[in-house]
Amino acid sequence: MDTKNKKLYLDYSATTPVDPQVLQAMLPYFTESFGNASSASHVYGWDAEEAVETAREQVAELIGAKSKQIIFTSGSTESINIALQGVASNKGHIITCATEHNAVLRTCKTLENSGTEITLLGVNEKGNIDLNELEAAIQPNTELICIMAVNNETGVIHPIKSIGEIAKKHHLPLVVDATQAVGKIGFNIEESGADLVALSSHKIYGPKGIGALYIAKRMTKRLKPFLSGGTQEKGLRPGTLNVPGIVGMGKACELALNSLNEEYSRVKKLQKKLEKGILAITGSKINGYQTDRSPYITNIVFEGVLGEKVIRKLKHIAISQGSACTSNTVEPSHVLSAMHIPEKLALSAIRISIGKFTSAKDIDIAIQDITDAVNALRKVNI
């Protein structure tokens, strides 16, 4: 079967295409209902404000929250910054994990440069946090715990409910990057015990440049805004609201909620098929294997082959070496390094992420073409 000219997208953890239903929901707010949601004196503003509030309800419903607890941002990175910089002080202490997305790690580094103490929890070879180590890291000046729900490179799922219980026991707010969880594996605010949760639209078939932050009631007055301007979004995210983007995110959340369980089951079967085929390649290993992982993400290493070369060989298949924010670097992934994977092996890694437009046939093509690419590269290396 000749598949070399078929373009195949398997990088859904980097971004997703906008669902046609989402696009249709957005279009009127570019032309017909183009008003500023802050314009309270006329019908154009009222229509825009109503659309924003409807979207706020749709986002809240997806995570089991109240609409008044949702503010809109430009994406998860901004949401994380609002959460961390809004709570941290230069005499405080933050606990996070070495495998977090750079949106967390680099924000923590900025805070550390201003005097905040940062503890980076390690993980084991499967990418799991030791909860005893987490609790032992709490100090009198600890201000928050920040742990992601699903790792964006390996798909490893952290026990957010248990972490939330530890945070509650010590009266600490829990910040969660739920970018790769919401709308995929499911994420419920009440079950998680989280106080601040970052969400992204473009990971769930919504538009880019829009995200949200869930804020627990007890955190509303505690958060310090780090931008100055208008009073939009409780004063925490001033500036004219991106109404078309917000409408698109709301619709994407509605669609995700309606198909959540069915799509999860379908993707889980596809991942099982993919991993069975990939593990048939000599010297292949799945990172985080046999631990709790998202079915949407598979991270693989191939002994003796650079992941970068595998990706170049597969010009027709869109896959990556890890996070889209760092996939143009040649250094080993900080996530895999934290999992104690040797540098040479970490450099052989590729990430395959499945989405709602992935078919069983696509998986067959990927298995065959990845197998051929790895075998061809190994022959060259002999």
pLDDT in tens, 300-346: 999 999 999 999 999 999 999 865 555 455 689 999 999 999 999 99
CA distance 193 to 163: 8
Task: Provide mean pLDDT across the span 187-215.
Answer: 97
pLDDT recorded at residue 237: 82
Active site residues: 325
CA distance 278 to 272: 10
What's this model's pTM, rounded to 2 decimal places?
Answer: 0.93
The tokens for 184 are 């995929």
Which DSSP letter does residue 240 get?
Answer: -
pLDDT in tens, 300-311: 999 999 999 999
352 phi and psi angles, rounded to 5 deg: -115, 125
For residue 227, pLDDT over 80 is answered with no
CA distance 304 to 298: 19
Assess contact for 212 and 71: CB atoms under 8 A.
yes
Radius of gyration of the chain measured on its C-alpha atoms = 21
Q: Mention every residue, 6+ apart, whose C-beta is less than 8 A from residue 348.
A: 301, 302, 303, 304, 305, 306, 307, 310
Assess contact for 73 and 61: CB atoms under 8 A.
no
User: What three-state secondary structure class fits 243?
Assistant: helix
CA atoms within 13 A on the CB side of 80: 25
pLDDT in tens, 132-184: 999 999 999 999 999 999 999 999 999 999 999 999 999 999 999 999 999 99
Give the whole-number percent of the chain exceeding pLDDT 70.
95
Amino acid at 125: E
Q: Which of 286, 270, 280 is nearest to 374 (CA)?
A: 280
pLDDT recorded at residue 2: 52
User: What three-state secondary structure class fits 42?
Assistant: coil
Mean pLDDT for the chain overall: 94
For residue 1, pLDDT over 50 is answered with no
The tokens for 8 are 């195949």
